[in-house]
Amino acid sequence: MKPFFSYLLAGMTGGLVSLAVVQWTKNEPAKTDEKYNARLVSAPTTSVAVTGPDFVHAAKVATAAVVHIYAEESEEQAIANSRKKRNPYYLDFDDFFGSDFFNRNYYRRQNGSGSGVVYTKDGYIITNNHVVGFADKITVTTSDGKKYQAKKIGTDPLTDLAVIKIEASNLPVVTMANSDALKVGEWVLAVGNPFDYLTSTVTAGIVSAKGRDLDLLEDEKSIEEFIQTDAAINPGNSGGALVNQSGELVGINTAIATPTGVFAGYSFAIPSNLVKPIVNDIIATGGNIERINLGIGGFDVDENLVKELNLRVKSGFYVDELDSKSPARLSGILPGDVITKINDKSIKGFDEIAQVMKYTKKGDILQISVNRDGKDMILPTALKKGL
């Protein structure tokens, strides 16, 4: 019996100790848990809404300055254009035999619709050459529903740009942005009149690429450096606005790449930095923009050419030949000169020269820097036809 009571006493003692420990633990503050609970209580309980870009202001500004254009040929122009296509040296036999002598059923009057962007408050409007180039009757409908008969100021087929004018005042205009500052991935809006009847339509997308040369314009002297976007445009959007999130004009919508004739994910716009000088030239000259080449041939300067010819510069365009009586020759440029700069643009090769020449026209004067046998000089070069 003695061992039994010993075990019983030990068990009771152990139980009492455990109970005391549990009780003491309950009364002792649980500091770690309290800190954790305090953090939970003090944490923010409000939720943050995630939203996309806000295009409301940009859409409002752009739609006010985008117009609907309906262009058509008169009967007289359709006949004349049809004859010129058949024979550019045609004689107008109507003058001899009367207007009803020949059967006129072979011609078809062209017509179509598109968009335009108001450039000045007094009615100059930018659009595409392919929208109005064929037409002598042009009707413009502004965003507030007013209709005007427009006059064609001029066109530039090499950039597919055109300018028309309506007699109006205090028209809403868009601010021109620097399209060179536009970044791939940046949001843009396309504004226009797709399919003729969906007027003042706004679509959004991003800049997919810049400087696209697609050979859309057939002339070998054509200028193409399109902004590619995935903003939806369709027939009727041509000539409309491409704007940034501030509502500033970054391009003129011009074309789509599509196997079906409607939007398939790829649209293209003429950048504003090309639009502005061409439009100003059209307004100043009535569309008689004549571009003049420098008339030079040669090679891009590289390490091999520097060693072979013992050149004193490491980059530029080496002039090997000049056309007779070309602007370059008349300005004093000689074979063996290295063109290093034109105006404020450094020249590393022929591509930079071609880029500069895109924005020039007959009558402009270029400040061309050349290195001749190690000596730098500046030669003012007037762009004019050879004598």
Enzyme catalytic residues: 130, 160, 238
* Tokens matching residue 84: 């010129």
246 backbone dihedrals φ, ψ, rounded to 5°: -90, 0
Give the largest CA-CA distance in the chain.
151
Q: Note the residue count of the chain.
A: 387
Taking the C-alpha atoms of residue 286 and residue 281, their distance in angstroms, rounded to an integer, is 8
Instruction: For residue 203, give the H/E element and its range.
Output: strand 201-212
Which three-class secondary structure state does DSSP give residue 172? Answer: coil
DSSP of 221-284:
T----EEEE-S---TT-TT-EEE-TTS-EEEEEEEE--SSSS--S-EEEEEHHHHHHHHHHHHH
What gap in Å lies between CA 193 and CA 177, rounded to an integer?
22
Paired with 345 in beta bridges are 342
Residue 367 has phi, psi (to 5 degrees) of: -95, 100
Residues 6 or more apart whose CB falls under 8 angstroms from that of 120 comprise 171, 173
